[in-house]
Structure formats: C-alpha cells, structure tokens
Amino acid sequence: MKPTYLLTLLALAFCFSTTAQTCLTEASIKALDAQWEEKNLNPEPEFFKNILSDNFTWIHNHVSSVDNKESVVKRAERQVANDGSNTRSRIQSEVKVAITGKTAIVTGYTIVDRGPTPIKYHFMRTYVEVDGKCLLVGNHTMAIPEEE
C-alpha cells in the first residue's frame, strides 16, 4: 500500500510541476511582450532568434511591409552594428491578454517616437507555447490617425 501511495504522490507532484511551469500566464506573456517592445527599441538579435517562431510574420501598417524572422533578426543586427535604432521611445498602454489552450493573443497600443511626431499604433500579437517555451508567431501593427 505504501509504494502505491508514494507513486501517486510522485505522479501528482510531477503533474503540478509541469503545469506550473507554463509560459502562458497573463503575467508572463505581458512581461514577454514588454521585452519585445524593449528589444525593438534597444535591439538584441539573440532575443529575436529565440522568441520568434520560424514561420513568424509581422504585417506592418496597411501592409506597407511584411517581415519574417530572418528580416527582423537582420534588422536588429544592422541596428546593433550602427549603434542602435532611430527610435527614441516605445510606450505600451492598454495591454490585454487572452489565453486559449496553448495560444495567447496580446492587444494594446504602442506610441513609437522616431520624430518628428510620435505615432500611436494598435497591435495584436500571437504567442504559442511549444515545448514549454512561448514563441511569437504573428504581429500586426496599424497606425491610428491623429484625429481618432
């Protein structure tokens, strides 16, 4: 009886420890998304190599451009070689997270200041958990006209 009891306890402990280690919590996704913004301001190519899924897609304002993992990493490498980006600040607000299964959708606003006037963007990013790690698979950003 004791070995069965011990095995049951071990199995339960294992289940709780694996579920507790998920990256898909509201707090961890908000923190990861804040890192995404910070690394776009202060580029770090290794961060992008690690967080972006191989099939990552970023649709920019009115499809003015489309990036994939390779182009984001290359841009970060160029910016590091040139002592940083031309962006002065990136400020997030109204960040919301919706989690379903192994997928998190993050929405909110980012004010990006590249001069002469800051631009407010609405964003929607999709993170998925793969083997216990959260990866960014999609990003869509849309500038909001000043009159709105």
Full domain range(s) for residue 71: 23-143
For residue 111, being part of any structural domain is answered with yes
CATH number at residue 101: 3.10.450.50
- 139 burial via Cβ count (<10 Å: 0-12, 13-18, 19+): buried
pLDDT at 38 over 70: yes
pLDDT at position 20 is 53
Query: What percent of the chain has a predicted confidence (pLDDT) above 90?
Result: 78
For residue 4, being part of any structural domain is answered with no
For residue 2, being part of any structural domain is answered with no
For residue 18, being part of any structural domain is answered with no
CA-nearest of 77, 61, 129 to 100 is 129
Q: How many other C-beta atoms can be found within 10 angstroms of the C-beta atom of residue 76?
A: 21
Mean of all residue pLDDT scores within the chain: 90
Assign 147 a pLDDT band (cuts: 50, 70, 90): confident
For residue 16, being part of any structural domain is answered with no
Q: Into how many domains does the chain fold?
A: 1
For residue 50, being part of any structural domain is answered with yes
For residue 17, being part of any structural domain is answered with no
